[in-house]
């Protein structure tokens, strides 16, 4: 099979000697000397000699230069794909513009989506687990990463314990699971991979530490005020807030427990707000609080 006789059709893989037409084709190539480059080709369109062929005509392709329906050279297409993989949409579009390659953020993302899925050759030994927002506050998914090589292994449609448990049962072999403090992921690992060691990732570890330090500093901010050298009187620490009892406090504890029981399983705040008939802001305040004592008291009702 030679290039002179045209390229084989993707359906039958046969040569053709019948030239149907010729036309000019313009391809955008990588920049040369800081200037945009375009390649003009005169290509042939061949006619299939088999009457039963569903594709009547086909165009010859140049190996390593052209591909079907492409307006870029293969080299520029590979460059666009690499930029999309490493920088994604907007950042990748800005870098491509500096390389004299006009491409939109959506095109870069589309190139990444069209990449063939490469299943891992083995289950990752060190597995990273974290959630991400498909629609913030409503729909969340789970991304799984091989920590040792830094590649994305899989993406799960939600962040529930059942879905992650099923994935771990289908892909055994994880020895270390690096996750956040979500109880749904912890429950899945205990169920499907009981021998795996669970550790907290650095981001959530620093995030939790910053929150704890911030609460401590706010609670003892009076101790940080500067004192005069001749002042020997000790500084009185603010008294701890009294424990509030009564029907209102009981309702708060009950609603707090109900919200955390559902939120820790990966259910979105918007969904939880419709179940106990509480306002979404109230559900968010309960969900983002460590203990029920830290829940801020609501303003007094007007009489």
- pLDDT by residue for the chain (303 residues), tens only, comes to 333 334 444 555 567 777 878 888 888 888 888 888 888 988 888 888 777 777 778 788 888 888 888 888 889 899 998 998 888 888 989 999 999 888 999 988 888 888 876 666 667 889 999 888 888 778 888 889 888 888 888 888 888 889 999 999 888 888 899 988 778 888 889 998 888 899 888 888 888 888 888 888 888 777 766 555 455 555 565 555 555 566 777 778 888 888 877 787 777 777 777 766 677 788 878 777 767 766 666 555 554
DSSP 300: P
What six digits make up the tokens of 287? Answer: 């969900």
DSSP 191: H
| Beta strands 35-47; 57-59: pairing state | antiparallel
What six digits make up the tokens of 203? Answer: 């981001």
- The answer to whether 129 and 142 have CB atoms below 8 angstroms apart is yes
Q: What's the confidence (pLDDT) of residue 95?
A: 92
What six digits make up the tokens of 137? Answer: 């506050």
- Sheet with 57-59: list strands edge to edge: 19-32, 35-47, 57-59
- The answer to whether 19 and 46 have CB atoms below 8 angstroms apart is yes
pTM as predicted? 0.45
| Sequence-ordered list of residues with C-beta below 8 angstroms from that of 63, at least 6 positions apart, any chain | 3
Closest CA to 89 of 109, 112, 103: 109
- The answer to whether 180 and 200 have CB atoms below 8 angstroms apart is yes
| Cβ atoms within 10 Å, residue 205 | 13
Q: What's the confidence (pLDDT) of residue 7?
A: 47
| Separation of first and last alpha carbons in the chain | 92
């Amino acid at each position: 099979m030679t290039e002179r006789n045209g390229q084989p059709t993707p359906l039958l893989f046969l040569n053709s000697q019948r030239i149907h037409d010729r036309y000019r084709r313009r391809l955008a190539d990588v920049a040369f000397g800081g200037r945009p480059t375009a390649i003009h080709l005169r290509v042939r369109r061949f006619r299939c000699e088999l009457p039963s062929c569903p594709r009547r005509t086909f165009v010859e392709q140049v190996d390593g230069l052209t591909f079907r329906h492409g307006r870029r050279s293969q080299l520029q297409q590979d460059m666009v794909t690499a930029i999309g993989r490493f920088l994604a949409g907007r950042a990748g579009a800005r870098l491509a513009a500096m390389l004299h390659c006009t491409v939109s953020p959506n095109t870069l993302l589309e190139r990444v989506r069209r990449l063939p899925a490469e299943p891992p050759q083995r289950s990752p030994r060190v597995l990273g687990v974290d959630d991400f927002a498909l629609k913030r506050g409503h729909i969340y998914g789970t991304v799984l990463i091989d920590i040792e090589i830094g590649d994305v292994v899989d993406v799960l449609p939600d962040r529930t314990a059942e879905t992650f448990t099923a994935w771990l049962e289908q892909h055994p072999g994880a020895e270390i699971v690096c996750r956040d403090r979500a109880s749904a992921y912890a429950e899945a690992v205990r169920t499907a991979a009981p021998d795996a060691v669970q550790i907290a990732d650095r981001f959530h570890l620093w995030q939790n530490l910053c929150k704890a330090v911030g609460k401590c500093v706010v609670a003892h901010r009076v101790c940080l005020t500067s004192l005069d050298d001749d002042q020997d009187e000790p500084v009185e620490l603010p008294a701890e807030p009294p424990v509030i009892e009564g029907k209102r406090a009981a309702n708060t504890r009950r609603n707090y427990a109900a919200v955390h029981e559902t939120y820790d399983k990966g259910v979105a705040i918007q969904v939880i707000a419709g179940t106990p008939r509480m306002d979404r802001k109230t559900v968010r305040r309960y969900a983002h609080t460590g203990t029920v004592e830290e829940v801020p008291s609501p303003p007094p009702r007007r009489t």
